[in-house]
């Protein structure tokens, strides 16, 4: 019997042996990045858990893609999604590039909720007399088994999607990233007249290209474009098709060039720019994902909403609008989005809560209680509802 050195593989030819190949360690991902469960591509969170689950089943927004959020009416639900998206990036340590708004916009970002106090208050504590008396050896065995089932090494890792509270404001101490304002999209009326000759959208693309090329290859960037083409934020020159389409073409090129570092989220008011126009359709073709928020009209006869926790009702359960999905990012033959779009197409609704954020769920009609109350009153012989001849 011959002895062979460990970690070697015997070959068919005598006198030859090959060492075993050591398995390479997987590359460590940046904070706030995780692989997609479908194809393994890196994804990041939008700051809204229900929106992450909607994005073609990737569990987040894939890097190198953009999401266009259209909204009808005068509400600002899409602006809430943008604030969650920017706050999530700052907490995770990403570089957030803001278009249109000044840097003071950071004071409108929602703050983090207190997870520890909520979990401790919700966890029931057993009374000392209710503890089961067992043998000391089995009690030690149970403690050892319980400790072995706990996940190891995950306690220090930050969550993929944080929970924010709209009633609070994001404090600088929890921000690991930086908010970078881009050049103004609406030049001052009393400024340099030469500045109006250059396109503000081209200046933004040049600014983004400079920032991305000078940053580290492991740095994650987010681009926030609120209320695209709104007259209050953008000059009239930006509304020309030659300007806005070139901007979206350039933004799409940056997303493909930095496909492992960059994502973008854009909002568009469809009340000013309806989907029936050719310009908006071209803007949708240049975006990887397109969804639309349609707020429901408010009922003037309805009672005012009560604060959370009173009367045992949560205002997040009340649907505040409909959500339509037109295009999903990275929708290919390997899977993604098929179940969502086929089952809940045009039947999705959303509701906004201060503590839970924007929740996307299937739409269901509320129960009709008026007819049932009248039938019960007639059955009891109520003189107010019965007619006597």
Task: Tell me the pLDDT tens digit for each residue of 264-288.
Answer: 999 999 999 999 999 999 999 999 9
Given CA atoms 50, 51, 56, 61 in this order, what sign does their dihedral have?
negative
Residue 330 located in a structural domain:
yes
The per-residue pLDDT of the chain, averaged, comes to 77
> In total, how many domains does the chain have?
1
Distance of CA 271 to the CA centre of its chain: 24
Residue bearing tokens 């803001």: 98
Query: So what's the pLDDT on residue 284?
Result: 95
Query: So what's the pLDDT on residue 206?
Result: 95
Cβ–Cβ under 8 Å, residues 201 and 238: yes
Q: In the predicted model, what is the mean pLDDT of residues 203-208? A: 95
Residue 15 located in a structural domain:
no
Q: Which of 84, 82, 88 is nearest to 100 (CA)?
A: 82
Cβ–Cβ under 8 Å, residues 31 and 95: no
Residue 63 located in a structural domain:
yes
Question: What residues does 19 pair with on adjacent strands?
Answer: 8
Confidence class for position 263, pLDDT limits 50, 70, 90: very high
Q: Give the domain CATH number at 55.
A: 3.40.50.300
97-145 pLDDT, tens digit per residue, is 999 898 899 999 999 987 533 433 444 444 444 444 444 444 444 444 4
Residue 67 located in a structural domain:
yes
Residue 150 located in a structural domain:
no
In this structure, what DSSP letter does residue 195 have? G
SS3 280: helix
Query: So what's the pLDDT on residue 367?
Result: 66
The C-alpha atoms of residue 90 and residue 84 are separated, in whole angstroms, by 10
Domain that holds residue 290: 30-114+155-300+313-379
The C-alpha atoms of residue 45 and residue 307 are separated, in whole angstroms, by 29
Tell me the C-alpha to C-alpha distance, in Å, between residue 68 and each of 289, 325, 334, 370, 388. 6, 11, 23, 40, 62
The C-alpha atoms of residue 77 and residue 230 are separated, in whole angstroms, by 16
Residue 128 located in a structural domain:
no
Residue 143 located in a structural domain:
no
């Amino acid at each position: 019997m011959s002895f062979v050195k460990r970690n070697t593989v015997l070959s068919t030819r005598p006198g030859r042996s090959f060492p075993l190949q050591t398995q390479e360690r997987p590359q460590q991902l940046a904070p706030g990045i995780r692989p997609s469960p479908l194809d393994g591509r890196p994804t990041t969170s939008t700051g809204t858990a229900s929106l992450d689950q909607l994005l073609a089943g990737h569990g987040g927004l894939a890097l190198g893609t953009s999401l266009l959020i259209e909204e009808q009416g005068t509400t600002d639900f899409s602006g809430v999604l943008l604030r969650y998206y920017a706050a999530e990036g700052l907490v995770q340590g990403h570089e957030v590039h803001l278009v249109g708004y000044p840097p003071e916009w950071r004071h409108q970002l929602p703050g983090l909720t207190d997870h520890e106090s909520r979990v401790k208050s919700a966890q029931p504590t057993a009374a000392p007399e209710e503890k089961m008396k067992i043998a000391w050896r089995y009690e030690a065995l149970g403690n050892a088994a319980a400790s072995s089932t706990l996940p190891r090494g995950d306690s220090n890792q930050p969550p993929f999607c944080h929970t924010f509270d709209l009633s609070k404001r994001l404090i600088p101490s929890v921000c690991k990233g930086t908010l970078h304002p881009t050049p103004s999209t609406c030049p001052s009326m009393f400024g340099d007249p030469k500045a109006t000759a250059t396109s503000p959208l081209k200046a933004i693309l040049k600014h983004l290209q400079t920032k991305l090329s000078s940053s580290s290859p492991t740095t994650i960037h987010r681009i926030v474009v609120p209320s695209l083409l709104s007259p209050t934020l953008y000059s009239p020159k930006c509304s020309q098709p030659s300007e806005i389409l070139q901007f979206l073409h350039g933004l799409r090129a940056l997303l493909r060039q930095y496909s492992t570092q960059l994502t973008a989220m854009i909002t568009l008011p469809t009340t000013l720019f309806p989907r029936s126009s050719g310009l908006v359709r071209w803007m949708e073709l240049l975006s990887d994902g397109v969804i639309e928020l349609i707020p429901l009209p408010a009922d003037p006869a309805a009672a005012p909403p009560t604060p959370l926790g009173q009367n045992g009702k949560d205002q997040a359960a009340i649907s505040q609008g409909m959500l339509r999905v037109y295009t999903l990012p990275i929708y290919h033959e390997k899977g993604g989005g098929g179940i969502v779009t086929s089952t809940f197409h045009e039947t999705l609704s959303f509701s906004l809560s201060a503590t839970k954020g924007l929740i996307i769920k299937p739409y269901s009609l509320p129960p009709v209680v008026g007819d049932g109350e009248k039938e019960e009153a007639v059955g009891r012989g109520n003189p107010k509802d019965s007619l006597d001849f």
